[in-house]
Amino acid sequence: MTNGAITQDDLISENDFDEQYKPMRQTKAGDMLSPDYRGAQAFAESQGLNEKHIWSVRHGDEDDSMVADPGPGTVNVAGYVVTEKAWETGDEIAVYFEDDMDMGMDEDDDDLDEGPAPGM
């Protein structure tokens, strides 16, 4: 972090978050997010885990990406994820869902094939 501002280098990538922290399915239907903190807390406790395994997932500031912050959140929270590995410092920030549409795509990109989609 530089002067309190989060940089791209401070973020745990979506793949690293999945591999290192291992988000857990909280329902039989396979849902990874609990809509509220109490639900995530109850699930964590049922697995023998404490609150350091709960992350708030919130909408990103500039695109449709989502980020995961340790502990309960208060702003733009979409839900809560419980991970097998606990967060350590409380300063971790992870990309939970990255909006790939904004990743290096330029509307004026001449390399894009603008023909019909396969099967059309």
Rounded to an integer, the average pLDDT of 21-48 is 96
Res 100 pLDDT > 90: no
Task: Select from 13, 84, 15 the least CA-distant residue to 55.
Answer: 84
Q: Please give the average per-residue pLDDT across 2-14, as a whole number.
A: 65
45-71 average pLDDT score: 92
pTM above 0.95? no
- Per cent of the chain over pLDDT 90 is 60
Q: What is the DSSP letter of 52?
A: G
What residues contact residue 78 under an 8 Å CB cut-off, 6+ apart?
A: 33, 57, 58, 59, 66
